C-alpha cells in the first residue's frame, strides 16, 4: 500500500521544483547473501526479487517526482550495491568514497569510486584501514554547516578528523550503541529547515546530549520504538516530501505540522537486509554554503599509551580493549610484543582516540589504573589545579587506585604517599620538600593543588617476583579441600610478620562469635597476632553477650539452642555496657572478665567499631559518626602488612578501599562471591578463602600454636 498524506496547511508550502539530484541502483541483483547486520540474520536468500523490484520502482517514482535521479547498474556478486547511501559522502563537487568495514561490501568500493570519477566528482579516497561508510554514517544538518558522523559499528571515530580535514567542515561524532541501528541514517534523519527525526535509544548517553545541544527541542522529534524498527528514520527528504517505509500517526502528524508531505511506500524486502528508502538513495547535490571551505579543528583527540608487563595473562589487554569502546573511544594498536614464555613480560603501544578531550581524559583515567603510561611527544609533568571550595575537587581530578602511583614532577618521578582508592592527590611543597599524597575529597582545602588529567602519571600494577609465591592461592577461590593448606600458608606468613614486628590488622563481623570462633580470635590477640581490630557494633555486642549470658543473639553457644528470654540478652548487654560507660570500663569494673574484647582491652589492642544503620544501642564505643569511623579505620590500617577479613562484607569492603596494594589480604567468607569480590583487587596480594569462619579461626589457632609449641 502506498500512502501520500499532506496536511491542508502544508499544501501551500509545497514547492514542486526539481532542484535535487539523487543516486540510486535498480535492484537487478539484490538479495541477502551474507549476514553483516542483525536484520540479515535468518533472512539469507529470502527477499523476493520481483517484489523488491516493485517496491524499488515505487520509491524511484516518488523521488523522481521531486528530483532528478541518476542510476548505476547492479552487476552480480554485489547484492548491497542497491544501498547507494553507502557509495560515499558528497559535498559540493567533492566525493569521499566509502571504505567498507566488511569485506563482503569492499567489492563495491571500486565500482562507486569509478562512478564518482566518471561523473566529474573530485575524489579523495580514505586511507586503508580507516573505515567510513559514506552518507550511511555522515549526515549534514540542514540549517548549519555541521556534519554529524555516526561511529561504533561501521565507521571508525578516527575518520572524523580525516573527513573534516578533506572537506573543511565541522564534524560532530556521535556513537551508535544498538547494532540494529548500525548506520547513522537508520536512526537519525535531518530534514529541511533544521528539523530532525531521530531515535535517541540508538545512541550512547553522551551522544544524546550532543545531538540535543545541536538541534533545539522544538526542531527535533524522537520517534517511538515502532517507528524506529520500521526504519522511519531511514527517510528521504526531497525538500517537500518525506519518503519512508512506514510511519505511525504521531510521526505523520509531526511531519505535517512541520510542513512536509509524507509518502509511505513499503520497502519490506529491503528491510530484510537492514535498509530502507534513505539507504537506497544518495543525495548528490550537497551544496557548500557560499562555496566556502572552513578551517576547522576536528574534536576527535588522540594520545599514545603503552602497557608493559603480564598484560595478557592478567587480562589487562582484554579489559583495555573493552573499556575504550565502552567509553565512546577507539584504539589502534601500533606495536605489540607478546611475552613468549610464562615469565616474559609483554608490551603494547596503542593510540587511543575519543570524540573530545573530556572523553579522552575519562578513558585515560581508567587505562592508567591498569598500568598504562601516556606517551607524550615532549616530557609533560603532571598537572595540578587549585581547589576553589573546601571539600570540592576540580572537575577533571585524577582518582586514585590501590596501586603504587608515581607522578612526574619537574622531571622527576615522585611516589604518591598514603596510597588508597578513590582519593585525589594533593601536592605539598615548600623550599625543602615536595610531597604528593592521597587526600579524600571531603578533606580538600581551598588552595590545595590537586592532580588533574592523565599526563605524567604512572601506576604500577604488575606483580613482582616476591608476590609470586602465593599466586597459586589467589588464582581461584579455595575449596574446602584446600582450606587446610591455605591456612598453613597464612599461618606461616603471619608468623614471619609477627617475628619481624610487622602489623596484622583483623576485620571481623559478628559471625565470628556465632560460629564459635571467638575463643580462637581471643587467643590470637593474647599471642600478639592482632595489632588492631576493625569491626562494627555487632561483633562487640555478641562477644560481650557471650560473656555475660553464654549466648550469642540468645543462642546458647555450647548447645546451639535458643534459650528462654534469650532475645533480651543482646539488648540487656548493650544496656549493661552503657551503664558501665564503655567496654574498657566494663572490664575495669570486673563486669566483663573474659572473651575477645576482654583480651583486647587487657592487651591494649586498638580497635574501632564503626556504626551502621543496623545497630542496636549502640554500645558507647561504637563510632556513629561515619567520617570519624573511616578516619579511625584508616589510621589503624597505616603500616599494616596483612589484613585478615573475617565474615564482614560491609567493613571488609570499606577496608579494601583504604588499603594500598602490596598489603596481604586474606578474605574469609562462606559465600564464594563475597570472598572473590573482596579479594578481587586486580593484584595478587589477596587470597579468598571460602569456609566457615569459626573453622578457619580454629585451624589458624592450631597452626600458630603448633609452631609455638
Among 210, 525, 538, 586, binds ligand NAD (CB under 6 A): 538
Total residues at interface with ligand NAD (CB under 6 A): 23
Query: Is 279 an active-site residue?
Result: yes
C-alpha cell at 286: 550537497
Among 468, 671, 706, 707, binds ligand NAD (CB under 6 A): 671
Looking up cell 553457644, which residue turns up?
557
Of 692, 700, 701, 703, the residue at the interface with ligand NAD (CB under 6 A) is 692
* List of E strands, 540-591: 551-552, 555-556
| Distance separating alpha carbons of residues 363 and 380, to the nearest angstrom | 19
In 3-state terms, what secondary structure has residue 603?
coil
Nearer to ligand NAD, 13 or 698 (CB): 698
Among 669, 683, 687, 700, contact with ligand NAD (rule: CB under 6 A): 669
Smallest gap, in angstroms, from Cβ of residue 543 to ligand NAD? 12
- Note whether 391 and 444 are within 8 A (CB): yes
Judged on CB neighbours under 10 Å (0-12, 13-18, 19+), 245 is: buried
Give the one residue of 230, 264, 405, 647 binding ligand NAD; rule: CB under 6 A. 647
Taking the complex as a whole, the smallest distance from the CB of residue 649 to ligand NAD amounts, in Å, to 4
Q: Which of 236, 262, 270 is nearest to 26 (CA)?
A: 270
Interface stretch with ligand NAD, choices 229-237, 587-595, 643-651, 700-708 (CB under 6 A): 643-651
Under a CB-based contact definition with an 8 Å cutoff, are residues 68 and 20 in contact?
A: yes
CB closer to ligand NAD out of 312 and 650? 650
Site residues (CB under 6 A) for ligand NAD, limited to 195-224: none
Minimum CB separation of residue 530 from ligand NAD in Å reads 17
Min CB(673)–ligand NAD separation in Å: 9
Q: Residue 699, interface with ligand NAD (CB under 6 A)? A: no
Q: Count of residues for the chain?
A: 709
Give the nearest distance from C-beta 687 to ligand NAD in angstroms. Answer: 15
CB of 620 to ligand NAD, least distance (A): 13
The residue written with cell numbers 575477645 in the block is 596
Q: For the chain, what is the largest distance between any 2 Cα atoms, rounded to a whole number of angstroms? A: 103
Least Å distance, CB 705 to ligand NAD, is 21
Give 441's contacts (C-beta < 8 A, 6+ positions apart): 391, 392, 393, 397, 423, 424
Helix residue ranges per DSSP H, 29-158: 49-66, 103-106, 109-118
Query: For ligand NAD, which stretch binds (CB under 6 A), given 29-37, 224-232, 612-620, 697-705?
Result: 612-620
- Residue 383's alpha-carbon distances to 90, 158, 418, in angstroms, are 43, 27, 19
H helix intervals, 333-479? 357-369, 471-474
- Using the structure block, give the residue that is written with the C-alpha cell 578457619: 696
Q: Are 230 and 224 in contact (CB under 8 A)?
A: no
Shortest distance, position 480 Cβ to ligand NAD, whole Å: 12
DSSP labels, 646-679: ES-HHHHHHHHHHSPTTSEEEEEESSHHHHHHHH
Judged by CB, which is closer to ligand NAD: 97, or 595? 595
Residue number of the CB atom closest to ligand NAD: 536
Query: Does residue number 624 form part of the binding site for ligand NAD (CB under 6 A)?
Result: no
Q: Which of 60, 94, 99, 183 is catalytic?
A: 183
Strands (E), 597-685: 607-610, 622-623, 640-646, 664-669
Of the listed pieces 167-175, 379-387, 522-530, 670-678, which binds ligand NAD according to CB under 6 A? 670-678
- 698 is an active site residue: no
Q: Which is nearer to ligand NAD, 229 or 650 (CB)?
A: 650
Residue 650 binds to ligand NAD (criterion: CB under 6 A): yes
Distance CA 329, CA 323 (A): 8
Nearer of residues 111 and 649 to ligand NAD, judged by Cβ: 649
Which residues touch 269 (CB under 8 Å, ≥6 apart)?
Answer: 30, 47, 48, 51, 52, 55
Binds ligand NAD by CB under 6 A, chosen from 211, 427, 674, 679: 674
Residues 334-373 within binding reach of ligand NAD (CB under 6 A) = none
Count how many Cα atoms sit within 13 Å of the Cα of residue 273 in the half-sphere of its side chain: 27
Residue among 416 and 667 whose Cβ is closer to ligand NAD: 667
**Closest approach of Cβ 510 to ligand NAD, in Å?**
5
Interacting residue with ligand NAD among 648, 659, 661, 683 (CB under 6 A) = 648
Does position 616 interact with ligand NAD (CB under 6 A)? The reply is yes
Distance CA 153, CA 179 (A): 7
Closer to ligand NAD by CB, 407 or 690: give it: 690
Q: Which of residues 497-516 bind ligand NAD (CB under 6 A)?
A: 509-511, 515
C-alpha Rg value of the chain to the nearest Å: 34
- Is 632 among the residues that bind ligand NAD (CB under 6 A)? no
- The correct pick among 670, 672, 682, 698 for binding ligand NAD (CB under 6 A) is 670
Catalytic residue among 187, 189, 279, 439: 279
Residue 177's alpha-carbon distances to 100, 208, 367, 589, 644, in angstroms, are 19, 11, 21, 67, 43
Using CB under 6 A, which of 38, 614, 628, 635 touches ligand NAD?
614
In the block, residue with C-alpha cell 578481587? 680
Q: How far apart are the first and last CA of the chain?
A: 93
Cell match 595473562: residue? 313
CB of 646 to ligand NAD, least distance (A): 7
- Write phi, then psi, for 29 (nearest 5 degrees): -135, 35
* 654 lines the binding site for ligand NAD (CB under 6 A): no
Told to check if 679 binds ligand NAD by CB under 6 A, we report no
Site string for ligand NAD, 558-597 (x = CB under 6 A): ----------------------------------------
Tell me the closest approach of the beta carbon of residue 690 to ligand NAD, in angstroms: 8
Q: What is the DSSP string of 181-240?
A: G-SGGGTEEEEGGGEEEE-GGGB-HHHHHHHHHHS-GGGEEEPPHHHHHTTTTS-EE-SS
Q: Is 620 in the site for ligand NAD (CB under 6 A)?
A: no
Is 656 an interacting residue with respect to ligand NAD (CB under 6 A)? Answer: no
- Our finding on whether 541 is near ligand NAD (CB under 6 A) is yes
CB of 482 to ligand NAD, least distance (A): 16
CB atoms within 10 A of CB 445: 11
- Please list the active-site residues: 183, 279
Q: Contact positions toward ligand NAD, by CB under 6 A?
A: 509-511, 515, 536-538, 541, 612, 614-616, 647-651, 669-671, 674, 692-693
Amino acid at each position: 500500500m502506498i500512502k501520500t498524506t499532506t496536511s491542508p496547511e502544508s499544501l501551500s508550502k509545497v514547492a514542486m521544483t526539481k532542484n535535487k539530484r539523487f543516486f540510486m541502483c535498480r535492484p537487478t541483483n539484490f538479495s541477502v547473501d551474507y549476514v553483516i547486520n542483525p536484520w540479515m540474520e535468518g533472512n539469507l536468500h529470502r527477499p523476493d526479487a520481483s517484489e523488491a523490484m516493485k517496491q524499488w520502482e515505487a520509491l524511484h517514482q516518488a523521488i523522481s517526482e521531486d528530483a532528478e535521479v541518476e542510476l548505476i547498474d547492479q552487476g552480480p556478486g554485489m547484492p548491497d550495491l542497491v544501498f547507494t547511501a553507502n557509495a560515499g559522502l558528497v559535498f559540493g563537487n567533492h566525493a569521499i568514497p566509502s571504505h567498507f568495514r566488511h569485506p563482503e561490501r569492499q567489492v563495491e568500493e571500486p565500482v562507486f569510486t569509478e562512478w564518482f570519477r566518471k561523473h566529474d566528482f573530485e575524489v579523495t579516497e580514505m586511507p586503508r584501514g580507516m573505515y567510513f561508510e559514506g552518507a550511511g554514517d555522515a549526515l549534514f544538518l540542514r540549517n548549519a554547516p555541521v556534519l554529524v558522523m555516526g561511529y561504533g559499528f561501521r565507521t571508525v571515530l578516527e575518520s572524523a578528523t580525516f573527513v573534516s580535514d578533506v572537506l573543511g567542515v565541522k564534524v560532530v561524532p556521535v556513537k551508535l550503541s544498538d547494532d540494529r541501528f548500525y548506520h547513522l541514517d537508520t536512526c537519525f534523519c535531518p530534514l529541511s529547515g533544521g528539523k530532525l527525526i531521530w531515535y535517541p535509544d540508538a545512541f550512547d548517553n553522551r551522544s544524546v546530549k550532543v545531538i540535543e545541544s545541536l538541534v533545539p527541542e522544538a526542531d527535533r522529534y524522537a520517534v517511538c520504538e515502532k517507528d524506529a524498527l520500521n526504519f522511519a528514520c531511514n527517510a528521504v527528504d526531497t525538500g517537500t516530501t518525506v519518503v519512508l517505509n512506514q510511519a505511525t500517526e504521531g510521526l505523520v502528524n509531526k511531519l505535517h505540522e512541520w510542513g512536509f508531505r509524507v509518502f509511505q511506500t513499503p520497502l519490506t524486502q529491503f528491510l530484510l537486509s537492514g535498509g530502507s528508502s534513505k539507504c537506497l538513495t544518495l543525495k548528490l547535490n550537497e551544496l557548500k554554503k557560499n562555496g566556502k571551505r572552513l578551517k576547522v579543528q576536528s574534536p576527535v583527540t588522540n594520545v599514545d599509551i603503552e602497557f608493559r608487563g603480564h598484560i595478557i595473562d592478567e587480562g589487562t589487554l582484554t579489559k583495555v580493549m573493552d573499556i575504550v569502546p565502552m567509553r565512546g573511544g577507539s584504539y589502534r594498536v601500533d606495536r605489540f610484543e607478546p611475552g613468549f614464555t610464562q615469565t616474559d613480560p609483554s608490551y603494547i603501544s596503542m593510540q587511543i582516540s575519543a570524540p573530545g578531550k573530556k572523553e579522552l581524559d575519562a578513558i585515560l583515567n581508567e587505562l592508567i589504573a591498569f598500568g598504562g603510561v601516556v606517551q607524550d611527544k615532549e616530557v609533560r609533568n603532571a598537572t595540578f589545579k587549585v581547589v576553589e571550595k573546601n571539600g570540592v575537587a576540580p572537575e577533571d581530578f585524577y582518582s586514585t587506585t590501590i596501586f603504587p602511583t608515581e607522578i612526574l614532577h619537574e622531571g622527576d618521578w615522585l611516589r604518591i604517599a598514603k596510597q588508597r582508592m578513590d582519593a585525589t592527590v594533593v601536592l605539598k611543597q615548600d623550599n625543602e620538600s615536595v610531597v604528593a599524597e592521597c587526600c579524600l575529597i571531603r578533606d580538600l582545602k581551598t588552595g590545595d593543588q590537586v592532580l588533574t588529567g592523565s599526563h605524567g602519571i604512572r601506576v604500577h600494577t604488575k606483580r613482582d617476583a616476591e608476590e609470586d609465591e602465593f599466586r597459586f592461592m589467589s588464582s581461584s577461590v579455595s575449596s574446602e579441600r584446600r582450606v587446610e593448606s591455605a591456612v598453613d600458608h597464612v599461618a606461616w606468613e603471619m608468623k614471619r610478620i609477627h617475628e619481624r614486628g610487622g602489623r596484622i590488622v583483623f576485620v571481623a563481623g559478628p559471625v565470628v562469635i556465632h560460629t564459635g570462633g571467638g575463643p580462637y580470635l581471643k587467643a590470637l590477640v593474647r599471642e600478639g597476632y592482632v595489632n588492631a581490630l576493625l569491626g562494627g557494633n555487632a561483633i562487640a555486642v555478641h562477644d560481650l553477650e557471650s560473656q555475660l549470658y553464654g549466648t550469642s543473639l540468645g543462642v546458647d553457644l555450647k548447645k546451639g539452642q535458643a534459650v528462654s528470654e534469650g532475645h533480651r540478652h543482646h539488648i540487656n548487654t548493650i544496656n549493661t555496657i552503657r551503664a558501665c560507660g564503655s567496654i574498657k570500663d566494663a572490664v575495669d569494673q570486673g563486669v566483663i572478665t573474659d572473651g575477645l574484647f576482654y583480651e583486647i582491652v587487657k592487651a591494649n589492642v586498638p580497635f574501632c567499631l564503626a556504626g551502621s544503620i543496623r545497630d542496636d544501642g549502640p554500645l558507647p564505643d561504637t563510632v556513629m559518626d561515619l567520617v570519624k569511623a573511616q578516619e579511625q579505620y584508616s589510621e589503624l590500617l597505616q603500616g599494616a602488612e596483612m589484613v585478615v577479613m573475617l565474615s564482614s562484607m560491609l567493613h571488609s569492603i570499606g577496608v579494601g578501599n583504604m588499603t594500598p596494594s602490596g598489603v596481604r589480604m586474606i578474605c574469609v567468607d562462606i559465600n564464594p562471591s563475597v570472598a572473590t569480590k573482596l579479594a578481587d583487587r586486580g593484584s595478587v596480594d589477596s587470597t579468598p578463602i571460602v569456609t566457615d569462619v569459626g573453622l578457619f579461626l580454629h585451624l589458624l589457632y592450631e597452626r600458630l600454636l603448633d609452631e609455638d609449641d
